Amino acid sequence: MKTLYIILFAAFITFGTQAQVDRSVLPPPGPAPKIEFTDPATFTLDNGLKVFVVPNNKLPRVAFYLILNRDPLFEGDNAGLTGFVGDMMMAGTSSRTKEELDEEIDFIGASLGAGSTSLSASSLKKHQGKVLELMTDVLYNPIFPQEELEKLKKQTLTSLASSKDDPDYLAGVISNALVYGKEHPYGETMTEETVENVNLEDIKEYYRTYFKPNIAYLAIVGDITDKEAKNLVNDYFSSWEKGKVPTFDYQKPELPAENKVALLDRSSAVQSVINIAFPVEMHLTNPDYMVTRVMNFILGEGFNSRLNGNLRETKGYTYGARSSFGSDKLIAKFSAGTSVRNEVTDSSVYEMIYEIRNLKENGITEEELTMAKANLSGRFGRSLENPNTIATFAINIDRYNLPEDFYSNYLQRLDALTVEDINQVAAKYLKPENMYITVVGNGAAIKEGLAQFGEISMYNYKGDEVQEIQLSDASKTATDIISDYLEAIGGVTAVEAIKTAKLEMTAEVQGTKLEMMAIHDMENQRLVQQVVVMGNVASKTLVKDGKATVSSMGKSQSLTDEQYEDVKMASLWLVPELYYETMGYSLSLDGAVDLDGESAYKVIVSNPTGGQVVNFYSIDSGLKLKSENQLSGDVSYQEYQEFEGVQVPVKMSIKSPMLPVPLETQVNNVELNLSVSDQDFN
């Protein structure tokens, strides 16, 4: 035994001496393998339904995926319609109510879902017949109940209201409108008006028109044989009647002649959302498709990409910067985006344009190419672990008329790419001088810096360009506008006569009714606000003796001096404008803007601790239309009513960082100059 150890040790020493390895250098990669796929069994029914079967017996489950291959649809005045189709189909059939359908799905531990271009179901193998019965019942016999549509429209309107305060959503709306045009399926915007326009007949007509087998693919993945699949498909889908489906052509978007800047002003924003984009023709069949994947990975997709390395690692402007290079048979787009602090907005745009131009003009390095290949090949390999991927590949080959070896040779084609290939494509497709630069942020803080990148146009939340309102009176001041507002609501004398006020309000959040009450004691600078849910006080804000506390869920927290000043500025008084001067607040007029179709003065109010509230006053009526505050959120004043000679807002929409959706508030009772006591403010 000892002799054996000596021999092995000697062999080890000899091997180590003969085969020294420099571990500081990565070993050269081996040749990329050709992936051998087992082609799915495929067949087509007489009605045109194309079926792909991918057996996988690792688990006793089977899944069915139905996909409609229709052209993109421009919805126009009914924008949002397709978003309702799937839920409406799942809302009950001629033989099952929605509740009965859900119960049967749950009973067998299955899943079933629908969309405007898809229908899917999965279950244990032993329940495959049952789940197909349910799936085809939804496919053939939806009843589209009116009450379900009303509920969905209400939910969508609530979601839209929330989206108006989401800078990422707003940047996407504007960018898409610019890149594609608002008369294009990819550029149109869903609004409250278009949602309200959708009616039941629209949903039914869409279903009758597009749910046809001759434009459909059915993928079956799981513990099933080809023969079983064919029998099931014939049993459940052969009776589906084919029909003529319309096709559409759209005008092709064009590059802007030069860089254009689109700005949506959100005065309360402390960050700017930046989106840089332009249209590009790219599809799976394009010979440059693979090359653009690698190019974009180097530019802005990987964590170590150039955009992220510059803006996050080197400059510290952001937590992340990314880019994408789309692929679509109609039209795609290049997009790069990030979120940054107000003060570095223009610097961030500059660096993003620099990286795009630098890649176009100077290309990439061999090291970057090697890293990108390794990451993309690893991602492709991991995707193959999911059997659904094989089905998707098979459908794509048929749907887009791809070569049969498009996916099996994927790694070989990736490995064959050279630095020169990437550089040529970067020079061809990147357009640093022809981009739409969309920014959502505080216009007063960032507009001047953005002017260096191109002509600035102002946009609203619908993606529509709005004209900047020019002040007709150049001598107008912020103080003048406040005076006009006080006069519009009843005059200074009438407002000064209000010493105390009590407001009782109601609102609803996701089906839960809220009862709110506020008592203002202007003379003693006291305020109490509380929210009652189901008879219990959910939260309470108390301001008195120069301090403020917030109580919620049995816990009380004292606000800092800065927070106290912000609460006082925004909420302490029934009419805070009356006290701006005496409290030492500074006022500045930041021009005029289009506020949801109404011309409004924009007045920035700053307190001594640096807090700000931005108020918008109607140029026509003088009334306050909106207030924006970084701490408490935004309030839109939608209706005024007179009490004791003073116009008080009685309908408001409140957007708070603490609320999941905007609070549509109705004032039900107003008491002015009521008697108050210390007990009211305990």
- Give the pLDDT confidence of 48-82 residue by residue, as tens digits: 999 999 998 889 999 999 999 999 999 999 999 99
Q: Which amino acid is at 59?
A: L
Confidence of residue 17 (pLDDT cuts 50, 70, 90): very low
Confidence tier at 11 by pLDDT (50, 70, 90): very low
Tell whether the model's pLDDT for residue 262 goes beyond 50: yes
Angle subtended at Cα 277 by Cα 276 and Cα 283, rounded to the nearest 5 degrees: 145
Q: Residue 19 pLDDT more than 80?
A: no
State residue 99's pLDDT score: 96
What's the CA gap between 275 and 125, in Å, rounded?
46
pLDDT attached to residue 6? 32
In the structure, how many helices (H) and strands (E) does the chain have?
20, 26
Domains in the chain (CATH in brackets) are 41-237 (3.30.830.10), 260-466 (3.30.830.10), 478-681 (2.50.20.10)
Q: How far apart are CA 392 and CA 218, in angstroms?
A: 10
Question: Residue 217 pLDDT > 90, yes or no?
Answer: yes
pLDDT over 60 (residue 256): yes
Alpha helix (H) ranges present in 416-569? 419-429, 443-450, 478-488, 492-496, 561-567
Q: What is the pTM of this model?
A: 0.84
Quick one: how far is CA 608 from the chain centroid? 36
Distance of CA 25 to the CA centre of its chain: 43
The residues near 63 (Cβ < 8 Å, ≥ 6 apart) are 120, 121, 122, 220, 221, 222, 388
Mean pLDDT of 523-544: 91
Residue 451 is encoded by which pair of tokens?
């002017």
Digit-coded pLDDT (tens) for 275-332: 999 999 999 999 999 999 999 999 999 889 999 999 999 999 999 999 999 999 999 9
Average pLDDT over all residues of the chain: 91
Side chain identity at residue 176, one-letter code: N
Cα–Cα distance for residue pair 164/169, rounded to 1 Å: 8
Q: Give the integer Cα–Cα distance in Å for 107 and 131.
A: 11
The candidate with the shortest Cα–Cα distance to 525, out of 489, 499, 495, is 499
Q: Which two tokens stand for residue 7?
A: 């021999």
Residue 68: predicted pLDDT: 97
CA distances from 568 to 520, 545, 613, 625, 631 (A): 11, 12, 11, 20, 12
